[in-house]
Structure 1
Amino acid sequence: MLDGDAEIVEKFSFCEFFAGGGMARAGLGNGWKCLFANDMDRIKISTYINNWNCNHFDKRNIKEVKTADLKGFCDLAWASFPCQDLSVAGNGLGIGASSSDEFTRSGALWPFLDLINTLRQEGRQPPLLVLENVVGLLTLEQGRDFTAICTRLGEIGYRYGAVIIDAKHFLPQSRPRVFIIAIQRDIDIPSELSHGMATASWHTPTLLRAYKSLPLQSHADWIWWDLGFTPTLEEDALTNIIQLEGVEWHPPEETNRIINMMAPTHLARLENAKSSETVAIGSLYFRMRREGGVNKQRAEITFSPVLGCLRTPRGGASRPRIIVVGNGQVRTRLLSVHEAAALMGLESTYILPEIYQHAFKVIGDGVAVPAVRFLADRLLEPLAMAARKKTAVHSEKVCTA
């Protein structure tokens, strides 16, 4: 928050669309009040309600939500719209056309933006929007989906920019996500929040290419958001999360089976880790690879202070696993629900479904909590304050006219 704004006592308000288990809400924190939340997945709905005990949750399809369901005015509308048709692990269908009656799952963004536009016509447009999704949004269909989103934001009265925030700056998990932050066109942006140029920390080459593919009008509406310095992850962050004792490991025969599934490159990585004097913790995945004209399932490993991106498991092979090498042992096992929650920055008090697959569905589709808090602190709260000051000045002029 900007200096001099400490006297603000009223909480910022927000509506959370495609809310999942409420991880954006967890990240925004106690300085924000949720007025409305929406999702239609039964597992995520129950998780959200169990954690937030709210009476403002709407379980309907976003296409059924009307402005009459949104009471009053909010500072921010957050939309972590579905990523299944945009991610590497998805089907690549994209978001579809805004004019189409048939949407892909990720295309649920369009009725959300239509809802925001109707609020604009009613004079209740949120001054801030955040659209969050996988980085594949920038490249799918040669960037046409990203262009369509930016064009639509401009049509409904917003300027906008995007940043890439990777959870690895806060947590030992590689989880890059694109955040499109839009602000009403007539709100003055504090000078320290944008310096008119890209920064290497928050604007990756992929994002720069996506920007260059935008039409000139979108360039005119574009803002290069500046989030300041990049946080540094603590060196022992991963070892503080992964349990080495008191957990159930695979039996030796299962670990040997996994090792026998490794290609020579990954066997070499394993041998290198075994020769080290320190304990190495790595990510372990099962993937299908084309070899000799046939598909072959391979076990692949990566040793790093940061684990690979957590995903929603859709089968036994896709469940997240770890491999630990040290003290003359090679051990493998499934990542626990408790560890996965910690890798997302969730508090130990956060309630997850008891069924393993259900818990990972909530986690894998979520947004890293510290990334949201960082974005709120560096950008959203100063912007919300600027929007409120504009409203206050306008109201004062009306009263004195």
Structure 2
Amino acid sequence: GMARAGLGEDWRCLFANDFDFKKSRTYRQNWGEGQIKTEDVRKLKASDLPEVADLVWGSFPCQDLSLAGGGAGLKGDRSGTFWPFWDLMKKLMKEDRAAKVIVLENVCGTLNSHGGKDFATICRVFASKGYRCGAVVVDAALFVPQSRPRLFIIGVRDDVIIPDNLLADGPKIPWHTRALKTAYGNLPAVPRNNWVWWNLRAPAQRNTRFADFIEEEPTGVPWHSPEETKRLLDMMSPVNMQKVLDAKASGVKTVGAIYKRTRKDAAGFKIQRAEIRFDEISGCLRTPAGGSSRQLIMVVEGNSVRSRLISSRETARLMGLDDDYVLPANYNEAYHLTGDGVVVPVVRHLAENIIEPILKC
């Protein structure tokens, strides 16, 4: 329900879908019954989708498109769910129920998956069904203290007017990255001719820090013992340990984000390292599955050094969710939910500056 939260109260949700029963339960706890259908998208029918929607938002699985994935791309079992999703869109088109705007959200690895062919395929199918499309890369760090760049492909039906002020004459920083420009340059003629460079407004400067989101007495994640914190410090390379020493010397309460990663030592052997950042933002939240580690935090204040897992409420705050948003009681379920989501204020920014102006024309 994070895309729904970002769209806001002026929008009416007609239908939602997820195959995960646990996520669906949380959706119902926050949004009520009636809209969400828990089912594999491959089994959905056009009749499951009611009325005519102005907007269809699709966040399909990223595993086969991410740099950490197996590289299967749109042919993979998980990211390949794009195809049954698109089949639904084609059925709606045949029934004269095509949405005016379709937004796809995924990891930036989509741009270079299979040498850019997967991105080109997505743009091609948009063009083949009468949609102009363009893309932007938005790092959530512009809105919340979390490093989380994501790709948003926005398609607009050909008969829908796009206001001139939303059209740029070329790529714009920071929305059109080098990888996106390269992917665009590799597009075949038809999708290139249907391409839109979105003129997205810059947001106001973020005024929150990672430390602002940290709970002193979190639920479900105890502070580490001194011995556990020492073991974590012992896992740091000299470069990362110096960051901690600098934080202690500053005399200011500082919060760092830690991920454990496998690195090679001087002899070429693989060892686990604890890598920390003190740049006022957290690392990108990821689902705690497939070997991905859970993010830890370290609070340094003078000679005091404390550490623990990041709490589920803290992860929700980093996704832009209000504290009254109901989370699963189970820590791993809550972490999986937030790590798999889309950042709420990012959705709001796209809605306010691209989607809503188009629909008001």
Instruction: Flag whether TM exceeds 0.5 (same fold).
Output: yes
Per-residue CA deviation, residues 123-144 of structure 1 (Å, 9 max, x unaligned), is 1100100000111111221111
Residues 218 and 311 in structure 2, CA contact (< 8 A), matched pair in contact too = no
**Which stretch of structure 1 is more off in the superposition, 66-75 or 288-297?**
288-297
Identity, in percent, stands at 46
Instruction: Give yes or no for the alignment of 1:301 onto 2:276.
Output: yes
Which residue, out of 230, 245, 250, partners 1:271?
A: 245
Q: Which residue of 1 aligns with 2:232?
A: 258
Q: What is the Cα deviation at residue 60 of structure 1?
A: 1.6
Instruction: Give yes or no for the alignment of 1:242 onto 2:214.
Output: yes
Q: Which residue of 1 aligns with 2:16?
A: 37
2:105 partner SS: strand
Which residue, out of 154, 157, 175, partners 1:202?
A: 175
Q: Which residue of 1 aligns with 2:354?
A: 379
Which residue, out of 284, 287, 295, partners 2:258?
A: 284
Residues 286 and 292 in structure 2, CA contact (< 8 A), matched pair in contact too = no
Which residue, out of 126, 142, 145, partners 1:172?
A: 145
Per-residue CA deviation, residues 12-63 of structure 1 (Å, 9 max, x unaligned), is xxxxxxxxxx100011010110111111111111111111112122112111
Q: Which residue of 2 aligns with 1:26?
A: 5
Q: Distance in 2 between matches of 1:32 and 1:42?
A: 25
Q: What is the Cα deviation at residue 192 of structure 1?
A: 0.8
Greater C-alpha Rg: 1
Aligned residue-pair number: 358
179 and 190 in structure 1: CA distance in 2 versus 1, 3 angstrom threshold: same
Instruction: Give yes or no for the alignment of 1:111 onto 2:90.
Output: no
**Which stretch of structure 1 is more off in the superposition, 142-151 or 283-292?**
283-292
| TM-score, structure 1 normalization | 0.86
Per-residue CA deviation, residues 63-106 of structure 1 (Å, 9 max, x unaligned), is 1111111221110000011112122343332111xxxxxx5201
Residues 295 and 310 in structure 2, CA contact (< 8 A), matched pair in contact too = yes
- Whichever residue aligns with residue 372 of structure 1, its letter is V
2:246 partner SS: helix
Q: Which residue of 2 aligns with 1:88?
A: 67
Per-residue CA deviation, residues 158-209 of structure 1 (Å, 9 max, x unaligned), is 1100011111111111111110000011222101111221111211111111
274 and 317 in structure 1: CA distance in 2 versus 1, 3 angstrom threshold: farther
Q: Distance in 2 between matches of 1:116 and 1:246?
A: 43
Q: Distance in 1 between matches of 2:146 and 2:225?
A: 26
Q: Which residue of 2 aligns with 1:19?
A: none
Residues 85 and 95 in structure 1, CA contact (< 8 A), matched pair in contact too = yes
Q: Distance in 1 between matches of 2:73 and 2:65?
A: 5
Structure 2 unaligned residues grouped into runs of 5+: none
Which residue, out of 315, 321, 331, partners 1:356?
A: 331
- Whichever residue aligns with residue 32 of structure 1, its letter is W
- Whichever residue aligns with residue 214 of structure 1, its letter is L
Q: Distance in 2 between matches of 1:141 and 1:316?
A: 23
1:95 partner SS: helix
1:324 partner SS: strand
- Whichever residue aligns with residue 154 of structure 1, its letter is A
36 and 245 in structure 1: CA distance in 2 versus 1, 3 angstrom threshold: closer
Q: What is the Cα deviation at residue 246 of structure 1?
A: 7.1
Q: Distance in 1 between matches of 2:20 and 2:216?
A: 34
Structure 1 unaligned residues grouped into runs of 5+: 1-21, 97-102, 387-401
Q: Distance in 1 between matches of 2:218 and 2:85?
A: 46
Q: Which residue of 1 aligns with 2:40?
A: 61
1:112 partner SS: helix
Instruction: Give yes or no for the alignment of 1:130 onto 2:92.
Output: no
Residues 17 and 36 in structure 2, CA contact (< 8 A), matched pair in contact too = yes
Q: Distance in 2 between matches of 1:246 and 1:318?
A: 19
Q: Distance in 1 between matches of 2:86 and 2:290?
A: 33
